[in-house]
């Protein structure tokens, strides 16, 4: 097997390098949960942390050694021995052994700038530090990966010396020498040229570790793989210091799907989008919808001509199938929408519709007009579903809010809001009143009180989970039109509604009403026909 056909190992450092990213922090329990998911996915190496740096990593390794790992080698990370210290007497190196991991990764210096100015030692001692540590860890039965820090900067400065450090690691028994673009500033052409030369002169497998400081972390990793690197180090979702590390959520599908190279199991690929979401959830970070391959927008189509083409031949505007990584195609609605957008989106929402449906023209007209008024249906699929439903069924809303009143009063140091609503369902009318923390909260309470008289079981589990307001024309000051976006949940499903109006209360009430009406729609509720009055 040639180097171009050999298996590409994935080395994940989310649990260490990833936590150096701003806002990223994992508990021991978090790290164990993540490691288990990475292992199940088929990651080859999971770097758990630096056992010499903090108690949390020490505890992680303590618990990790008692668990069974199906696919991955749990890996401890550390440094070469210190200058002037015998390797067996170096406390940090001994902690790497104490972690009892099957693999150990150590980093050492390549760049003479670091040798002279950072660790302040001689060129000869630096090489001995590398070789001694690799040899010591191999003697104790560890699989050893040597991370050559600032490999490319060092090579560009002193190529002869850089090669000597890597050859020393290889001759001491390193299983892989990994070239690190630590500053993240190299171009793919540089990565390829240097990696190719190293592969020709260093007698062991070569890995690549890149950062994304100039937006080329993934491109540089792929560039190295193309010339023979057989291990890629990175983090899930690209977490990492500064602008992040090479993102494995892009590297993995590029290697497996685009390059057709053996890597993680093919069957795991359909779980990649879920894995990306899981990592974000554990990190308590918002999922990046524009993340390549796995983001919610990765296979989203908005322009009418694009959607029309996708409807006919999906791959005409898609580089791969969304299902290949567990993602899905999304058709977005906006004033750029065409007939194909409506048809595909309506089908996605469960409606029977095609290009010959008579109501299609009116639905498209409604969407464009409402978007012009300030609505935005891209993320508010529940409001869109209601619009389509009413046009197709030629039906009115399940209920109508015929009137409302909101007032505020001061009670000591507290401000109390009160709302009354008059709601009609068929021939019946309900008048209700509720208090709340603010006008929207009070309106929400009054509206629910009214509707629960008619639909108690259907609306009882509904909760408002998010409420966002955006000013659409800030130049108008307090008279500006506002867009209200509401997310609701029944504990099983989530849905979103939108409304826009010059009056924020009107917009909020419309979005609230749509939210409750959508719940009734998916419950297939019809309007009661009784004539009893309700108060």
* Burial bucket for residue 218 (CB in 10 Å: 0-12, 13-18, 19+): buried
Q: How many Å apart are CA 481 and CA 487, to the nearest integer?
A: 20
Q: Residues with Cβ < 8 Å from 401, sequence gap 6 or more? A: 421, 422, 423, 447, 509, 513
Q: Residues with Cβ < 8 Å from 239, sequence gap 6 or more? A: 14, 17, 18, 19, 21, 24, 245, 279, 283
Q: How many Å apart are CA 448 and CA 467, to the nearest integer?
A: 16
Q: What is the CATH number of domain 9-264?
A: 3.20.20.70
Q: What would the pLDDT profile of 155-182 be if each residue is shown by its tens digit?
A: 999 999 999 999 999 999 999 999 999 9
pLDDT at 445: 92
Nearest to 255 by CA among 207, 287, 218: 218
Phi-psi group of 293: left, alpha or beta (phi > 0 → left; psi -120 to 50 → alpha; rest → beta)? left
Least confident of 124-138, 170-184, 223-237, 445-459: 445-459
- In contact, 126 and 115? CB cutoff 8 Å: yes
Q: Looking at domain 400-522, which of 3.40.50.150, 3.40.190.10, 3.40.640.10, 3.30.160.270 is its CATH number?
A: 3.30.160.270
* Burial bucket for residue 277 (CB in 10 Å: 0-12, 13-18, 19+): middle
Q: What would the pLDDT profile of 185-221 be if each residue is shown by its tens digit?
A: 999 999 999 999 999 999 899 999 999 999 999 999 9
Q: What would the pLDDT profile of 284-315 be if each residue is shown by its tens digit?
A: 888 888 899 898 777 776 665 655 566 666 66
- In contact, 249 and 25? CB cutoff 8 Å: no
Q: How many Å apart are CA 221 and CA 207, to the nearest integer?
A: 9
Domain ranges of the chain: 9-264, 400-522
pLDDT at 1: 46
- In the block, tokens 């806002």 appear at 23
pLDDT at 332: 60
Q: How many Å apart are CA 270 and CA 323, to the nearest integer?
A: 7
pLDDT at 330: 66
Question: In this model, does residue 349 exceed pLDDT 80?
Answer: no
Q: Residues with Cβ < 8 Å from 39, sequence gap 6 or more? A: 46, 69, 70, 71, 72
Radius of gyration of the chain (CA): 30
Token readout for 217 is 């972390």
Please measure the distance between the N-terminal and C-terminal CA atoms of the chain and give it in whole angstroms. 81
Sheet holding 400-411, edge to edge: 400-411, 414-425, 428-436
- In the block, tokens 């690691």 appear at 169
pLDDT at 368: 78
Q: What is the mean pLDDT of the chain?
A: 87
Q: What would the pLDDT profile of 221-257 be if each residue is shown by its tens digit?
A: 999 999 999 999 999 999 999 999 999 999 999 999 9
pLDDT at 96: 94
Q: What would the pLDDT profile of 377-411 be if each residue is shown by its tens digit?
A: 767 788 888 888 888 877 778 899 999 999 988 77
Q: What would the pLDDT profile of 463-521 be if each residue is shown by its tens digit?
A: 888 888 888 765 655 557 888 888 999 888 888 899 998 888 999 999 999 999 889 88
pLDDT at 409: 81
């Amino acid at each position: 097997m040639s180097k171009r056909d050999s298996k590409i190992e994935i080395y994940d450092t989310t649990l260490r390098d990833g936590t150096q990213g701003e806002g990223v922090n994992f508990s021991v329990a978090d790290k164990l949960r993540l490691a288990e998911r990475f292992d199940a996915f088929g990651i080859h190496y999971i770097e758990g942390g630096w056992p010499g740096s903090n108690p949390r990593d020490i505890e992680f390794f303590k618990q990790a050694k008692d668990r069974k790992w199906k696919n991955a080698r749990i890996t401890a990370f550390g440094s070469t021995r210190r200058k002037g210290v015998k390797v067996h007497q170096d406390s940090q190196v001994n902690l790497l052994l104490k972690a009892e991991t099957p693999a150990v990764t150590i980093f050492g210096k390549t760049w003479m700038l670091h040798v002279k100015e950072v660790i302040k030692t001689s060129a000869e001692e630096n090489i001995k530090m590398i070789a001694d540590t690799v040899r010591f860890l191999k003697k104790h039965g560890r699989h050893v990966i040597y991370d050559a820090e600032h490999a490319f900067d060092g090579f560009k400065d002193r190529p002869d010396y850089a090669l000597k450090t890597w050859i020393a690691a290889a001759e001491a028994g390193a299983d892989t020498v990994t070239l690190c673009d630590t500053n993240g500033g190299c171009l793919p052409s540089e990565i390829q040229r240097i990696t190719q030369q190293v592969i020709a002169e260093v007698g062991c497998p070569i890995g690549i570790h890149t950062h994304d400081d100039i937006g080329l972390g993934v491109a540089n990793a792929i560039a190295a793989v193309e010339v023979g690197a057989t291990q890629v180090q990175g983090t899930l979702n690209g977490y990492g210091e500064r602008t992040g590390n090479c993102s494995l959520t892009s590297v993995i599908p590029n290697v497996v799907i685009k390059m057709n190279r053996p890597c993680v199991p093919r069957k795991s690929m359909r779980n990649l989008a879920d894995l990306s979401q899981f990592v974000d959830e554990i990190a308590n970070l918002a999922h990046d919808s524009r993340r390549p391959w796995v983001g919610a927008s990765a296979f989203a189509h908005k322009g009418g001509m694009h959607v029309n083409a996708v409807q006919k031949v999906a791959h005409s505007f898609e580089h791969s199938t969304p299902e290949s990584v567990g993602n899905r195609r999304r058709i977005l609605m906006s004033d750029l929408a065409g007939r194909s957008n409506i048809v595909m989106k309506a089908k996605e929402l469960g409606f029977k519709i095609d290009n010959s449906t008579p109501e299609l023209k009116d639905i498209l007209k409604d969407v464009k007009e409402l978007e012009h008024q300030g609505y935005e249906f891209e993320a508010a699929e529940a409001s869109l579903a209601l619009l389509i439903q009413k046009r197709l069924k030629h039906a009115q809303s399940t209920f109508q809010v015929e009137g409302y009143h909101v007032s505020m009063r001061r009670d000591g140091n507290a401000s109390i809001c009160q709302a009354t609503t008059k709601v009609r369902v068929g021939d019946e009318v309900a008048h209700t009143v509720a208090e709340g923390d603010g006008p929207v909260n009070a309106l929400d309470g009054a509206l629910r009180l009214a509707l629960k008289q008619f639909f108690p079981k259907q609306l009882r589990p509904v909760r408002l989970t998010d409420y966002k307001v955006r000013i659409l024309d800030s130049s108008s000051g307090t008279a500006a039109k506002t867009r209200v976006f509401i997310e609701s949940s029944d504990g099983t499903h989530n849905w979103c509604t939108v409304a826009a109006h010059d009056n924020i209360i009107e917009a909020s009430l419309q979005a609230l009403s749509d939210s409750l009406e959508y719940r009734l729609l998916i419950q297939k509720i019809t309007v009661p026909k009784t004539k009893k009055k309700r108060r």
